[in-house]
Structure 1
Amino acid sequence: MTDKSEEHIRIVDVARMAGVSVATVDRVIHNRGKVSERNLRRIREVLDRVDYHPNLVARSLASAREQTLAVIIPAFREGEYWADVDRGIERAAAEAGRFNVRVRKFSFDQYDRTSFERTLTRVRDEHFDGVVIATLFAEMVVEFTRELDEQQIPYVFVDSDIFGSKRLAYFGTSSFDAGVVAARLLTEGMDRQADLVVASIIHRGTGGSNQCRNREEGFSDYLRRVGFRGTVHRASLRLDDDLYNNRVLDALFDANPRIAGAVTFNSTCYILAGYLQRSGREGVKLVGYDIIGRNRDMLLAGTVTALIAQRPEAQGYHGVMALCEHLVGGRRVPRVNNMPIDILLKENIRYYNNNII
């Protein structure tokens, strides 16, 4: 006979006792999705110990009030980096719905500070129980999260972290260390007096994203530590403007014949790769970030030397689920959840699965 106290066992209680997430317990109870043998064994041991029955889940969910999360991410086209993040968000939203948690997405132009400001105004005009934020405009995010702190609304960062904030959690890579990795990949075996190019996209109304700045700091730190003595040139390029980019890069490469390597700190590596391919400039190592279609094609073609990836789908998924589990069951995840810094080469790109969750 079931003890009276056991009648109040909820899915979040099972998750806490087993030391796993609510979503993992849900997958076991409803036999959907993959779960590791270790977690499966731990969950079953708890279920047996408390004589847990799935109908208790239904009753607890039916009595819970609906809660709503706001997710603030850049607008995107299919095939771009943020499309992968969004896939993870959508997967988490489907799971969160079973716990009476609804997800609403708000988008902005990642190259336009004013667009981000308008999006924050839209979010401020409504009430949300939690917020997931892509921290591209760090200064504005800090101001916004102070308001969330005052209202005691939990929030999660994805893509890049802002140290000193009171975020519930962060999911993404260590941007500084990802910059270090790029510098090592680029300069390994290179003459320490060769020149390098740092290419960036001209932004409207902003000095660049928080993540790109952190990556560049790590990149520069590595160059200093290894005594790299070459000149680092900067090239400001435009999206979808090959004529302009050709003029800028022709002038740069013609004036600096010692350029042996180049890097971009966001997902637009394909722009510089396209130039190198069109102009026939061989022998220039190129390192970039993110496994989007155009970057992948340039890696397979041999124009890009290496790409650094950061599991964007997992970032989106875990960012939403961390808030969901916190609101539903009071479960706290570690504050910093660094994704692996994956290094992709021509030889291993076909085996990469960025949605490992």
Structure 2
Amino acid sequence: MNDKTITIKDIALKAKVSAGTVDRVLHKRGKVAPKVEEKILRILKEMEYEPNIIARALSSKKKYKVAVLIPDESYDSYWFAPKAGIKKSLKELKQFGLEVKFYFFDPYTASSFVDKAKEVSLDNPDGIILTPIFHREVLPFFESWKKSEIPFVLFNTEISDFEPLSYIGQDSYQSGYLAGKLIHYGLSEPCTILLAHFDEETSNAAHLEKKELGFKNYFSQNNLQQYDILKAEITRPNYASFVGQMDNIFENNPNIKGVFVTTSKSFEIASYLNQKHIHDVNIIGYDLLAKNLHYLKNNTISFLINQNPKGQGFWSLKLLTDKLIFNKEVPLLKYLPLDIITKENVNYFIEEDLESA
């Protein structure tokens, strides 16, 4: 057929059958004699026929409802970026009948997550995107969605218990290991390193446990026993409570020379250290939030690891659509790069993000 696009009519002509018969074989509907079906399948293979999936999706009037279950950005500005990524992806895909509905929950209250997850289940969407930050609470929903054959994609927090369609985000263990390596670069003598979790029940947050394990393993696997790692789960119900917790930690551990913040809240530690005029502590944190960038640029934060939350949102909808609409195979894992951000290169990442907006 040279380079011509092969059509159903071409297949029918070669097989000496009607186009309708070829269509029934392709879509496995209606009865076709076994010998005829075998002949058509052989010709399809010989002629390397590829259906025009995009044209078919455009001509279809089917609507696909996707539920997005994510934290409300009013509680934590980090969540603005994945929502923006999903909306950017939707602009490219809504022509195929895609509809997205957001369900926002309080990221600091498990009951809020459960309530919104119940709403998602009642609405019976064709697919679900979520960040499962409450491990125990999400598992029953995974089981229910599996039984209902609703594909779901996870981002930011990887949980493999019920085999989601795909996970998009960083390898949390390697991310923590990298943070250990970065913080070690700035330490010249034995000291204490603070590993700080913010406003999270770590035992119910799988991604933070993996970051912690990776961080600690960097030091143990490299025989760096001279560094004492102090773990702290910090809450911030109000500013006075936060300052009290930090005063207690630093007064009782005056040899702290490094802080690893496992969430996007490294600016909280940086602000505290600036106010206390403590300038000899290296801080490693996550994400290009405006407050984090301020302290990165004034050298209070040494490094930020970019988790690319906008990309996480974008790829979540893209992969779910590949499965729902185009029936493509999608990767079980799509790990995004571990970008190391410094004062010197941060503008390149900010400009790149603006260009992709």
With structure 1 as the length reference, what TM-score do the two structures score? 0.80
**Equivalent in the alignment of 2:221:** 225
The runs of 5 or more residues in structure 1 that have no matched partner are 9-48
Q: Secondary structure at the match of 2:318?
A: helix
Give the one of 134, 137, 140 matched to 1:140. 137
**Equivalent in the alignment of 2:149:** 152
Q: Secondary structure at the match of 2:325?
A: helix
Q: Judging changes above 3 Å, is the alpha-carbon distance between structure 1 residues 64 and 219 closer, same or farther for their aligned structure 2 residues?
A: same
Contact 1:96 1:102 in 2 (8 A): no
Q: Judging changes above 3 Å, is the alpha-carbon distance between structure 1 residues 254 and 118 closer, same or farther for their aligned structure 2 residues?
A: same
Give the one of 322, 335, 339 matched to 1:338. 335
Q: 1:185 Cα deviation (Å)? A: 0.5
Contact 1:287 1:306 in 2 (8 A): yes
Q: CA RMSD in A?
A: 2.8
**Equivalent in the alignment of 2:272:** 275
CA distance in structure 2 between the partners assigned to 1:126 and 1:102 by the alignment:
13
Q: Judging changes above 3 Å, is the alpha-carbon distance between structure 1 residues 180 and 60 closer, same or farther for their aligned structure 2 residues?
A: closer
Q: Judging changes above 3 Å, is the alpha-carbon distance between structure 1 residues 7 and 288 closer, same or farther for their aligned structure 2 residues?
A: farther
Q: 1:223 Cα deviation (Å)? A: 1.6
1:26-65 aligned within 5 A: 57=55, 60-65=57-62
> How many aligned positions are there?
314
Q: Secondary structure at the match of 1:231?
A: strand
**Structure 2 letter corresponding to 1:102:** E
CA distance in structure 1 between the partners assigned to 2:126 and 2:321 by the alignment:
10
Report whether the alignment pairs 1:200 with 2:197.
Answer: yes
Give the one of 5, 10, 30 matched to 2:8. 5
Deviations 1:193-226 (A, max 9, x none): 31011222234x7745322121111111112112
Q: Judging changes above 3 Å, is the alpha-carbon distance between structure 1 residues 126 and 277 closer, same or farther for their aligned structure 2 residues?
A: same
Q: Secondary structure at the match of 2:103?
A: strand
Q: 1:243 Cα deviation (Å)? A: 2.2
Worse-superposed segment, 79-88 or 227-236: 227-236
CA distance in structure 1 between the partners assigned to 2:72 and 2:50 by the alignment:
47
1:198-277 aligned within 5 A: 198-203=195-200, 207=203, 209-229=205-225, 230-239=227-236, 241-277=238-274
Give the one of 118, 121, 127 matched to 2:118. 121
Contact 2:72 2:106 in 1 (8 A): yes
CA distance in structure 2 between the partners assigned to 1:52 and 1:153 by the alignment:
25
Contact 1:75 1:82 in 2 (8 A): yes
CA distance in structure 2 between the partners assigned to 1:163 and 1:108 by the alignment:
22
Contact 1:286 1:304 in 2 (8 A): yes
Which structure's CA Rg is the greater one? 2
Q: Equivalent pairs: percent with the same residue? A: 25
Q: 1:97 Cα deviation (Å)? A: 1.2
Q: Judging changes above 3 Å, is the alpha-carbon distance between structure 1 residues 122 and 53 closer, same or farther for their aligned structure 2 residues?
A: closer
Contact 2:114 2:138 in 1 (8 A): no
Contact 2:186 2:282 in 1 (8 A): no
**Structure 1 letter corresponding to 2:206:** N
**Equivalent in the alignment of 1:172:** 169
Deviations 1:9-50 (A, max 9, x none): xxxxxxxxxxxxxxxxxxxxxxxxxxxxxxxxxxxxxxxx99
Worse-superposed segment, 325-334 or 75-84: 75-84
Q: Judging changes above 3 Å, is the alpha-carbon distance between structure 1 residues 350 and 144 closer, same or farther for their aligned structure 2 residues?
A: same
Contact 1:200 1:236 in 2 (8 A): yes
Worse-superposed segment, 97-106 or 208-217: 208-217
Q: Secondary structure at the match of 1:297?
A: helix
Q: Judging changes above 3 Å, is the alpha-carbon distance between structure 1 residues 7 and 52 closer, same or farther for their aligned structure 2 residues?
A: farther
Q: Judging changes above 3 Å, is the alpha-carbon distance between structure 1 residues 206 and 63 closer, same or farther for their aligned structure 2 residues?
A: same
CA distance in structure 2 between the partners assigned to 1:76 and 1:189 by the alignment:
33
CA distance in structure 1 between the partners assigned to 2:293 and 2:284 by the alignment:
12
Q: Secondary structure at the match of 2:310?
A: helix
Q: Judging changes above 3 Å, is the alpha-carbon distance between structure 1 residues 227 and 306 closer, same or farther for their aligned structure 2 residues?
A: same
**Structure 1 letter corresponding to 2:216:** S
